Amino acid sequence: MKHPRWILPLLLGLLATPAAADEVRVAVAANFTAPLEKIAAEFARDTGHRLIVSSGSSGKLYAQIRNGAPFEAFLSADEETPARLEHEGLAVSGTRFTYAIGKLVLWSPRPGYVDSRGEVLKSGDFKHLAVANPKLAPYGRAAQELMEKKGLWQSVQPRLVMGENITQTYQFAATGNAELGLVALSQIRKAGGEPQGSFWVVPQSLYSPIRQDAALLANGKGRTAAGQFLKYLKSAKATAIIQRFGYDLP
């Protein structure tokens, strides 16, 4: 039996048609919001899938996930929180991996204010130092570790301005509500370019490594687009963006 001539082109066209575009609900630590915006644009261009992003401190996002927030993927600012979710059955076992290693910086929007060794922390006449809440944000814990190793944590308490997450912490310094801020390097490299103001990249020997882990959440299990996004996070395009914003790769 002969088929009409249009059957073969139609079948080939169907085979070539990409899967229907989908949405992926992603919870991301505040420090990684800017790089994720760039990655999301590339991901949408390459796959047709769109990311719906919610950002905040890792601690706050953890609480939201536990309370039933419909996130399908989680990009934390630490490795402990995704591991805890996996242990609690809220993240899919075997999907967790380190997507970036963060760097802490002491920063001021004022050129020449922060010296190349961070001695301004000891000798400066600053009135306020912005840090993220160590109980909620891994970058806040790193800031506390740094100050403790320098023997300054107790003496600086009256001058601390504490942000709920690293984005709020950065804003305190950027708007002048604090002369100094201990923030993420990625934040002062706005579009992956050279930072403005003055800064000291804190040696990683002065705080525990900020290994930022991602995981597929229970809501994302069986969701093709969510799995594709986490795979894309390891792609050459994504890792180039991650490095451009000042992160190390695992």
What percent of the chain is predicted at pLDDT more than 70? 90
Whether residue 10 has pLDDT greater than 80: no
Report d(CA 201, CA 114) in Å as an integer: 10
Q: What is the mean pLDDT of residues 33-41?
A: 96
pLDDT at 191: 57
At 131, the pLDDT band (50, 70, 90 cuts) reads very high
Whether residue 89 has pLDDT greater than 90: yes
The β-bridge relationship of strands 160-163 and 129-132 is parallel
Which CA distances in Å does 12 have to 16, 19, 20, 46, 172? 6, 15, 17, 21, 57
Q: What is the mean pLDDT of residues 100-109?
A: 96
Q: What is the mean pLDDT of residues 68-95?
A: 97
What domains sit in the chain, N to C, each tagged with a CATH number?
20-101+210-244 (3.40.190.10), 103-206 (3.40.190.10)
Which CA distances in Å does 132 have to 160, 167, 215, 236? 10, 9, 23, 31
The β-bridge relationship of strands 23-29 and 73-75 is parallel
pLDDT tens-digit map of 174-205: 999 999 999 999 899 865 667 889 999 999 99
User: Across the strands, what pairs with 211?
Assistant: 101
Q: What is the mean pLDDT of residues 243-250?
A: 93
pLDDT at 125: 82
